[in-house]
Amino acid sequence: MQTLRLYANDAGSIEQAARIIRSGGLVACPTETVYGLGANALDVAAVQKIFAAKERPLWDPLIVHVSSREMLKSLTMQLPAQFENLFSTFMPGPLTLVVSKQATVPDVVTAGRNTVAVRFPAHPVAQRLIAASGLPIAAPSANWFQHVSPTTAEHVLADLDGRIEAVLDGGPCPIGVESTVLDLTVAVPRILRQGAVTAEQLKQVLGDVVVINPVSRGQKGLQSPGMMSRHYAPRTNVVLSQGRETELVEVVQKLSHQKVGVLLPSGWNIRAAAIFDWGRWGDWAALASRLYAGLRWLDDLELELVVAPLPPEEALGGVIKERLLKASGREILPGRMDFGKG
């Protein structure tokens, strides 16, 4: 199959993409978090094509994207009390809610659960595509299963060219890390996946929220499969250092017998085979938006190792840290902070 590259700004491109969605095809589309691989969420055959294109196992449920509150309500049963506050504070935006589903949402979308994950993206291209289709769009990240999520149309094509009908190019994704997945089916809401909306932000609205720790082994019984630690991973091994220039230099020096690439904060000084100028240390939003681009760029250079410093758990720094730990294949153990020493 020939994958069409449509430019979101071109006249008629959104309509053309919407026609593909309505006829059961796959369109990759930018959101404010990462590019999604979309299909009509109510069409079983179309949704199955997502799993085939990504080589994603059927036990991993999809997020359904909507362009209005009415569309969201058409997919869900009675919404819990916290919904209104969350909706008015964070939506549209990078927050995904897990709630009870209507029977119209097919099992293939939810991996047989009676809950569905719903999100109202803020990105204008995503909103226009969903509205023009007139359909809720099931969309996981537009990459191979467990690979680094895509934040540009080039990233999507690197993984899925020839496997999907079209990619709608809307430029780089502004946030660059995935949405926060919040489970509202329990008395105290649980964060199943950390993401662009932080736990602190949610606490301010909800009062109480629990962060579920990621688990590394097995699939069955997972509350949310995106929690597995081997996820978001480049092919090249990733080694982490503490988040200071001296510690990063020390780790890179220790490994200098190998071909090392570095995700390097701007202005830090280091010698290595390859350097990705990541952005200003402390500007966590900027670093988050370039994290996956950096990992993918370094991954294409046939290096032996990629080294990155770990941000503190402060605003989006915490999400970058969690994704880097997953990219490095490390389990996240509370209190363990000696990365890059062993």
User: For ligand AMP, what does the binding mask look like between residues 81 and 110, x meaning CB under 6 A?
Assistant: -----------------x-----------x
* Closer Cβ to Mg ion, 76 or 141, answer by number: 141
Q: Which is nearer to Mg ion, 96 or 141 (CB)?
A: 141
Minimum CB distance to ligand AMP, residue 40 (Å): 16
How far apart (Å, rounded) are the C-alpha atoms in residues 150 and 28?
10
Q: Which of 28, 181, 182, 288 binds ligand AMP (CB under 6 A)?
A: 181
Residues 141-160 that bind ligand AMP (CB under 6 A): 141
Kindly write down the DSSP assignment for every residue of 12-72, as one continuous string. THHHHHHHHHHTT--EEE--SSS-EEEEETT-HHHHHHHHHHHT--TTS--EEE-SSHHHH
Nearer to ligand AMP, 176 or 279 (CB): 176
Return the number of the residue (141 or 289) whose C-beta is nearest ligand AMP: 141
Distance of CA 306 to the CA centre of its chain: 20
Element (H, E) at 5: strand 4-7
# residues near ligand AMP by CB under 6 A: 18
φ, ψ of residue 71 to 5 degrees: the values are -65, -40
Asked whether position 272 contacts ligand AMP by CB under 6 A, the answer is no
Q: Of 96, 131, 99, nearest to 115 (Cα)?
A: 99
Residues 217-256 that bind ligand AMP (CB under 6 A): 224-226
**Alpha carbons 49 and 219: distance in angstroms, whole number:** 22
Which of the residues 116 through 135 are near ligand AMP (CB under 6 A)?
116-117
- Judged by beta carbon distances under 5 to 8 A according to partner kind, the member of ligand AMP, Mg ion, none in contact with residue 110 is ligand AMP
**Contact yes or no for 214/332 (Cβ under 8 A):** yes
Q: What is the C-alpha to C-alpha distance for residues 32 and 195, in angstroms, rounded to an integer?
A: 12
Residues that bind ligand AMP (CB under 6 A): 60-61, 63, 98, 110, 113, 115-117, 140-141, 178, 181, 192-193, 224-226
